[in-house]
Amino acid sequence: MAQNTITGNVTDGANGQPLVGANVTVKGTSQSTYAGLHGNFTIEVAELPVELLFSFPGYQTVELNVDTVAQPANVTLNPLG
């Protein structure tokens, strides 16, 4: 079965900076990865579409439906409160 490579970037909604260490999880699974030094992430999935959950302590969780790997899955997380 072919793998689909999803790439993207996670940024902080308060200041636009990369959100290093943000968690990226395939919804309903234990498959996950973390945003690296510049907020970039890569995750492999077996099929599309897929729901990705983006989270970081103290920030609102974002759910994103990804149905193509042609464009990056860029997400901004906003602080709670």
What is the CATH classification number for the domain harbouring 61?
Answer: 2.60.40.1120
Within a domain: 79: no
Within a domain: 81: no
> Which pLDDT belongs to residue 81?
84
Q: Could you tell me the two tokens for 11?
A: 């940024």
> Which pLDDT belongs to residue 2?
66
Within a domain: 78: no
Rounded mean pLDDT of the chain? 96
What is the pairing mode between strands 32-34 and 23-26?
Answer: antiparallel
Please count the structural domains in the chain: 1
Q: Which domain holds residue 16?
A: 4-73
Within a domain: 64: yes
pLDDT digits (tens, 9 = 90+) for 5-50: 999 999 999 999 999 999 999 999 999 999 999 999 999 999 999 9
* CA dist 31 → 12, 14, 16 (Å): 23, 28, 27
